[in-house]
Amino acid sequence: MTIPDSSGYDYMMENGSIELPCKPEEERRIVQDLNSKAESNLREGYLYYVISNRWFVGWQRYTGQLEGSYPFEDHSVGSQSLIPTITEDRPGVIDNSDIIDGEYNKDDDPQLCRNLEEGRDYVIVPQEVWEKLLKWYKGGPALPRKMISVGDQQKQFSVEVFPLCLRLVDSRDQSEVAIRLSKKASLHDLYLKVCRLKGLDPEKARIWDYFNKQKHTILISSSQTLEESNLQMDQNILLELPIDGFGMDSTGNGLALVPVEPIRSSFSIAGGPTMSNGYSTGYTSSIHQRSTSTSSYGDMEDGNDGSKPITRGDKGGLAGLQNLGNTCFMNSALQCLVHTPHLAEYFLQDYSDEINRQNPLGMHGELALAFGELLRKLWSSGRTPVAPRAFKGKLARFAPQFSGYNQHDSQELLAFLLDGLHEDLNRVKQKPYIETRDSDCQPDEEVADEFWRNHKARNDSVIVDVCQGQYKSTLVCPACEKISITFDPFMYLSLPLPSTATRSMTITVFYGDGSGLPMPFTVTVLKQGCCKDLIQALSVASCLRSDEYLLLAEVYEHRVYRYLENPSEHLATIKDDEHIVAYRLPKKEVNLTRLEICHRYQEVERKLFLTPLVTILEDPRSGADIDLAVNRMLSPLKRKAFFTSTIENGRENGSPSNGTEEQMNICSSTQLGPAIQSIDDIEPDGMSSGELSFRLCITDDKGYGCKPILKDSPIKPGRIVKVMLDWSDKEHELYDASYLKDLPEVHKSGVLAKKTKQEAISLFSCLDAFLKEEPLGPDDMWYCPRCKEHRQASKKLDLWRLPDVLVFHLKRFSYSRWLKNKLDTFVNFPIHNLDLNKYVKSKDASEGSHVYELYAISNHYGGLGGGHYSAYCKLIDDNKWYHFDDAHVSPVGESEVKTSAAYVLFYRRVKPTSGGNVGEPSEVHKVS
């Protein structure tokens, strides 16, 4: 199928292939109504359509739907070609060719490229919206997708953009063909599709789970879904045709098909008793999946014999985990947990009595059982890699956010997994209700112990025993100085990287009264700050007067793309490659009109250029008022040869030749540029003859629909008036436009940035930043019980009780609507003898040692989207480090595990020796 190479409405009209179009605002209203109707009636099975974001953004701009937001969040270098030019042209036919994988014909089923991201590369619209857009614009091809329900406990609706692709291997000729079905399709549906494709009788066909081209399980035609059968994207399934029930296939080869009953064994994954059919009572196994004679289903994926007891003495733990499709994040997190000595000892023993199937906050024990089974395989399979398909299936059921085959965050998975294991293994079957109360000036030791007892009364598991600590949280009200102290549990500590706490930003400041030339200022602000902080820093740098204020704006494609008028808006919404300006405007109580002036070449195409100017007008009534304001704003740009003005105090005001010198001494200068105080002071050329001095057009709020302005043209009162200034040869002779060109970026990457990137900081400085007192954010206000109001209280954290296993999460990633960033700062963390005694505020000697030793690291290499996870883990028994990179496991020296890729650090408490010393004699890392 070939998409016509046309981008305009003319092509469609000439070919008579489209009805007369609606107005842009009418199209927008119709689509918005259809979207709202679909969102209010979400149903499983409803049809949605995938549309190229490149085309859809053009339609959004045409209908005015992109006000105040980007078409997508990540303007990466590779995506620059996708940024459409702002235009009022009607988009051409719908063209989805840029998101389709490879060549396709009209009769083919086109497939999407696998590396696409929603919102960046494509959008999803309901069937009714697609049909309406198709009626208006034609094109295609159509890419229908169904709505499915994902998750077990917390069901969510999701459009299955990438259906499950299975590679069917025909045993008769070893040919392969791709089969695509929803993961919610049944095995019966799979049989029907395969047999229709091959022209076979479903009663005579046998389909095997042929993962890694090894027979694992016969897939019996049933209502069981492909997802429940643990089938993975792009894996193989095998088609065989037995003759006379069990015997020879059509090629004469003997089949390994045997009576479908698994081997009976006294072993179960939880160490508990087994049922007569060989399955453990502690494991939910499907009656529709049957195993071969080589091993039971639970151990089929790695060829491991799970019938023998597993002990740490077998020197296991060197098995890798196969990547099932962007699952390196999961493999990295799992290897760190599997090599946690306390957890390994626990799950290698009989833990069946502690499975809590009634906990409404848990996963009916299934997550703990799946993790325990996987851990046993890894510790008993020698060096044979394990495919964690069953575990991934459980994970997708209980945590739909980790379903599919997108890359995720290993720390987020760890947080979910630790919490899920705790709830599945919680020894408390009926949680008592306990009301939390304030400290009321009691001794910290008593309050902390009470909080911990209350916590243990509701939460008691091996995860709490091993991984949970307690910190002291102190809140102080800024108004009444009320102090609130609580002692809360933690599972891990998320540490900021202090070297990146500040940010250098370059902003160009424009005078809104035409009193000076624009000047760029570079200021340093808190990276997690807000626009108020940036404005304050700019005010000091530019010597802002008390009767002025700064209006921040982003300039994009020579237009004001958005105003940053909310002082609480986070600076993370401003990216380094954006162009931000600040307009100095007067503070006045009366209602003012903001005049926005954009510049165009006076040519046929009339392209925009230069930076927009913004000024304030009081009650503009006619085109003459606008013309005077434009003259005033351009006056600092007048070339010296044409600058005609009065001489005041023995010098020429506003001359560009000395304007630069004045800007360099801006804080000490008393005269800021030309002495133009009001529009009455200006007598522009041409005004006396009844004509305007400039070619001006007024536009609508979106910058479209230009209408020429005459001297007596009435100006409608409003908050913002937008005009276009057409530059002719006359304007280029009179004014130096170079001052309005080439705005600097907010932050320019270069040598300085590379040096900062490689800066090394210590783990202790990260911990200090985490424990530093700081005010709560405006979105996280605290309700003061004394003031009876929400206050922006100051908060201070202190470590009170440390667990045996201490996990540090280094906050390398920052996300917001506008910014995604990864920090590659090298953090120097100790491997041995991490001494935290100075940080622990509790004086209880029974807490034991506060010295720790590193045993595992979850690493992240690369940037956002294209990164890779791996793990360094230490086998405690042989005191050696290994690199676990998915299925590949290799030894690594201890000195090699400290890299800038370290993301999550796992430490275990070092037990004091009989002589009172901690661990073996070595250099102890202490805080100065």
Q: How distant, in Å, are the alpha carbons of 186, 389, 643, 716 from that of 224? A: 5, 16, 84, 67
Helix, strand, coil percent content, the chain, rounded in steps of 5: 25, 25, 45
Q: What's the CA gap between 142 and 50, in Å, rounded?
A: 8
Q: What's the CA gap between 559 and 573, in Å, rounded?
A: 18
Strand positions, DSSP E, 717-863: 720-727, 760-762, 774-775, 782-784, 789-791, 794-801, 805-810, 813-815, 820-822, 826-828, 834-835, 851-861
The secondary structure of 110-135 as a DSSP string is --B-TT--BTTTEEEEEHHHHHHHHH
Q: What's the CA gap between 891 and 898, in Å, rounded?
A: 15
Strand order in the sheet with 206-209: 176-181, 164-170, 236-240, 206-209, 217-219, 289-291
Task: State both tokens at 695.
Answer: 């070619």
Q: What is the H or E stretch that residue 550 is in?
A: strand 548-556
Q: What's the CA gap between 595 and 630, in Å, rounded?
A: 9
Q: What's the CA gap between 795 and 793, in Å, rounded?
A: 6
Task: State both tokens at 443.
Answer: 């001794």
- Are the C-beta atoms of 852 and 863 separated by less than 8 Å? no
Q: Provide CB contacts within 8 A for 137, sequence distance 6+.
A: 12, 18, 59, 91, 92, 93, 94
Alpha carbon 630 to chain centroid, angstroms? 43
- Are the C-beta atoms of 53 and 147 separated by less than 8 Å? no
Residue 906's nearest CA partner among 834, 844, 842 is 834
Residue 411's nearest CA partner among 818, 833, 815 is 815
In degrees and rounded to multiples of 5, residue 148 shows phi and psi of: -125, 165
Task: State both tokens at 160.
Answer: 């299955």
For tokens 């004014």, name the residue: 735
Q: Is 328 an active-site residue?
A: yes
Partnered with residue 613 across adjacent β-strands are 597
Q: What's the CA gap between 856 and 882, in Å, rounded?
A: 9
646: left (phi over 0), alpha (psi -120 to 50) or beta: beta
Task: State both tokens at 924.
Answer: 């102890």
Partnered with residue 487 across adjacent β-strands are 472
> Of the residues 75, 188, 832, 868, which is catalytic?
868
Task: State both tokens at 15.
Answer: 């070919």
State whether the Cα torsion 277-282-283-288 is positive or negative: positive
Task: State both tokens at 109.
Answer: 């089923």
| Cβ neighbours of 315 (radius 10 Å) | 12
> Of the residues 195, 216, 328, 467, which is catalytic?
328
Q: What's the CA gap between 757 and 763, in Å, rounded?
A: 16
14 exposure class (CB count in 10 Å sphere: 0-12, 13-18, 19+):
exposed
Q: Provide CB contacts within 8 A for 131, sequence distance 6+.
A: none
Q: How distant, in Å, are the alpha carbons of 25, 604, 714 from that of 707? A: 19, 16, 12
In degrees and rounded to multiples of 5, residue 135 shows phi and psi of: -65, -35
Active site amino acids: 328, 868
